[in-house]
Structure 1
Amino acid sequence: MSTIFGVLAIFLWGALALLGNLTKALPAFQLLFMCFFVSFLLLFIKRLVTKQPLLALPTLGKAQTIIGIVGLFGFHFCYFMALKYAPLIEVSLIVYLWPLLLGVFVARSENKINAIIGGLVSFIGIVFLISDGGGFTINSQYFLGYLFAASCALLWSSYSLFMTRFDNHVDDIGWLSLYVAILALLAHIYFEQTVTRFSLTQTVGIFLLGLGPVGGAFYLWDIALKRGNKTLLASLSFLTPLLSTVLLVMAQQIHFSWAILIALAFVLIGAAISNYKCRPRSVNASHL
C-alpha cells in the first residue's frame, strides 16, 4: 500500500506541467510560497478530520529539519536558478538524473550494478522524450545553469534517501512546508515583483498545485519512502516526464510524438533491470 502512495505522488508530479500552465504568469517564488502554504494547511485539515490536536509539535530533530528544508526548498530554488541560466531542455535532462541517483543510493550492494544499468537505460528514454529524438548540445556558456540543475538532482535524491531513514511522522511534511513557504516568500521579496490580483483560473491553479504536485505529493512520497519499495519507486520516477507529456497531449496543448512510446519502452525496460533481484552466490560446501 505504501508503494502505491509513492506511485500516486509520481502521478501528481506528472500533472505539474499541465497545472503549471494555469499559473505560468505568476512569479515563480511567489507561486512557490502560496503552494507550500496550501500544503501546510493540509496538515490542519488532516488533523481536523482525524480529530487530532491541531498544534502538536513536529517530531523531526533539528538536523533532520535542516535536511528537509534544504531538500524541499533547495531543490526548487536551484531549479528556478537553473532555468534562469540555461535552456529548459538541458536543465530538464540534468534534473532527471535524480531517479538514477536515488536508485543507486537505495539499492543493496548486490544490486548496485543493476540499479546503474537500469537507471541509465531509463535515462536514455527520458533524453529521447525531452529532446524529441533531436538530441541536445552542452554549451559552456550555460555552465552555471547546469550546475544548478545538477544540484537539483543531488538534492532531491539525497532528500529522498535521508527521509527513508527518519522515523518521523508524516505530519512533519506540513511543518516543513511552512518553513519552505517562509523562505520562498523571502526569495520572492528579494528577486521578484509581487502580483496582487489573480484570475479565477490562477486561484484554482494555486490550490490544485498545493493539493497535488507542490504539496500533497510530498506527504505521499514521505509515506512511500519509509515503508514502500524504494527501488521500484526510484525506477517509476522516470515516468514523471512521460506522464506530463501524455497529459499535455490529452489536453491538446502539444502534439503526440512517437518519442513518447519509445521513451516509455526504455523506462519500463530500465525499471525491469533495476528491480531484477540478484541472488547472492551460495558457497559450495565441498570447498569448506
Structure 2
Amino acid sequence: MTRTRATAIGFIAVLLWALLALFTIGSAPVPPFLLNALTFTIGGTIGLIWVTATKGWPKLRSVPLRVYIFGTVGLFGYHALYFSALRLAPPAEASLIAYLWPLFIVLFSGLLPGERIGPLHIIGALVAFVGAALIVAPGAEGFSNSIGLALAGLCALTWSGYSVLSRKLGHMPTQTVAIFCVATAILSVPAHLALETTIWPEGMIGWTSVVALGLGPVGLAFYVWDLGVKAGDIQLLGVASYAAPLLSTLVLIVVGVAEASPTLILSAALIAGGAGLAALGSAVVQRRAQR
C-alpha cells in the first residue's frame, strides 16, 4: 500500500468522527460508559467478522499480549478520560484542551524512526488548532475546573501517544483493533455498573444512533485510522484531523441542530490553510530526503 493511499484511508476516520456529535446527541440519554459498551461491542463484532472472513485468527494468535494491552489502554483510556473530563469541566473548555491531540501527533511523530517534522508542519498544526478553537471555545466561560481540564490534557496525550506508537507497531495486523474494541467494551461494563444508572436508548432514533455510532465513529473509524497512522503521512493526518470539529459543526447545521456563522467560515479557512501548510511541509521534507 502506498503512503498516499494509506493517508487517504486514514482520513476516512476523520470523516466518520465528524458524525460523532450528531449520533451522540441522538443516543441521549444513554450514559457514557453504557454507550461505550454498546458501541464498542458493535465495532468489535464487525472486526471479529472481518477477522473470520479474512482468516486472520492465526495472525492474531501470534500477537504479543503487550500489544493487546497497549491497544486496549489506548481506546478505553482515551474515552474514559474524555467522558470524565466533560463531566468535571464545562464541555467547551474540556473539548478545546482535548483537541490538542492532533498537534501532539505532529510534534511526537518527529521522534519516530524515518520521520521528520519541519517548521511548516508545526505552523500548520498551530493554525489549524486556532481554527478548531474558534468552533469549540465560544461556550467557554473561564477555565473553572483544574481537575477536569487536567483529565482533558491527559486525554489528548493518550490518543496522540496511542496514534504515534501505533506507527512503531506497523508490522502488527490491523485486525488487532477488533480485540482492542472488544476488550474496551468489556471494561466499560464494570465502569458503567459502578458509576452510572442504566438508561437504555429511547425509540427508533436512539437505537439507530447507537448502531450508527458502533458502525462508524466507534467502529470502522478505528480500523482505517490504524491503517493510516501505520503506513500513511502521520503529520498530515494529524493536522487534517482538525477538520473533524469543523465537519461535525457543518453536519449539525445541515440537520438543524446548530446555526451557521461567520466564525465557521473563518474556522474553515484556518483549518484548510493549516492542512495545506502541513501538506507543503511534507512535500518539502520528502524532496530534501530524496537529495
Same fold (TM > 0.5): yes
One-letter code aligned to 1:253: V
C-alpha deviation, 1:60, in angstroms:
3.5
Q: What do the CA deviations read for 1:206-230 (whole angstroms, capped 9, x no partner)?
A: 1110110011100010111111111
Report the TM-score, using the length of structure 2 for normalisation. 0.89
Shift in alpha-carbon separation, 1:92–1:59, aligned structure 2, 3 A? farther
1:6 equivalenced with 2:3 (yes/no): no
Q: Runs of 5+ in structure 1 lacking a partner? A: 284-288
Partner of 2:155: 152
Whole-angstrom CA distance in 1 between matches of 2:17 and 2:273:
21
Q: Runs of 5+ in structure 2 lacking a partner? A: none
Partner of 1:18: 22
**Which has more radius of gyration?**
1
Secondary structure class of the residue paired with 2:92: helix
Number of aligned residue pairs: 279
**What aligned pairs does 1:49-60 form with structure 2 within 5 A after superposition?**
49-50=53-54, 52=55, 57-60=60-63
**What aligned pairs does 1:249-288 form with structure 2 within 5 A after superposition?**
249-275=253-279, 276=281, 277-278=284-285, 280=288
1:126 equivalenced with 2:129 (yes/no): no
Q: What do the CA deviations read for 1:132-162 (whole angstroms, capped 9, x no partner)?
A: 4x8x4543x4000100100110000000001
Whole-angstrom CA distance in 2 between matches of 1:128 and 1:234:
18
1:80 equivalenced with 2:86 (yes/no): no
One-letter code aligned to 2:194: Y
Partner of 1:286: none
Shift in alpha-carbon separation, 1:221–1:53, aligned structure 2, 3 A? closer
62-71 or 174-183, which deviates more: 62-71
Instruction: Report the identity percentage.
Output: 33
**What aligned pairs does 1:64-143 form with structure 2 within 5 A after superposition?**
64-107=67-110, 111-132=117-138, 136-139=140-143, 141-143=144-146
Secondary structure class of the residue paired with 1:213: helix
Whether the 8 Å contact between 1:103 and 1:115 is mirrored in structure 2 is yes
Secondary structure class of the residue paired with 2:228: helix
Whether the 8 Å contact between 2:29 and 2:201 is mirrored in structure 1 is no
Partner of 2:183: 179
Whole-angstrom CA distance in 2 between matches of 1:262 and 1:252:
20
